[in-house]
């Protein structure tokens, strides 16, 4: 693996803000960009198996549910195995 040879990990499938948010979470347990970048943070948390970050994203997204984002959130919840978000989104849609 090239990462072993260079002591470098290249993350090219997420933008800099999302990667910075993930690193901030790893070092501090929180991230400044949670509310506005929660969908992307959910995806990176799933990819790198960061369950705490993933759960925080689920709760942040559930708190910001609206008619405009419910469909997208339901797809993300299903795709990234986010049960709390899925339950809250289904409840919101059925309400």
User: Among 53, 67, 66, 59, which Cα is nearest to 25's?
Assistant: 53
- pLDDT reading at 3 higher than 70: no
- pTM for the whole thing? 0.85
- pLDDT, tens digit (0-9, with 9 covering 90-100), for 58-84: 999 999 999 999 999 999 999 999 999
CATH code where residue 79 lies? 3.30.710.10
Total structural domains within the chain: 1
Residue 2 has pLDDT above 80, yes or no: no
Q: Of all helices (H) and strands (E), which one includes residue 94?
A: helix 83-94
Q: Domain of 24?
A: 2-94
């Amino acid at each position: 693996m090239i990462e072993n040879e260079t002591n470098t990990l290249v993350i090219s499938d997420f933008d800099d803000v999302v990667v910075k948010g993930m690193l901030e979470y790893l070092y501090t347990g929180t991230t400044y960009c949670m509310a506005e970048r929660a969908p992307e943070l959910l995806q990176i948390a799933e990819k790198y198996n960061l369950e705490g970050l993933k759960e925080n994203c689920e709760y942040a997204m559930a708190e910001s549910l609206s008619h405009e984002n419910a469909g997208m959130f339901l797809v993300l919840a299903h795709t990234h195995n986010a049960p709390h978000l899925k339950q809250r989104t289904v409840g919101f849609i059925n309400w």
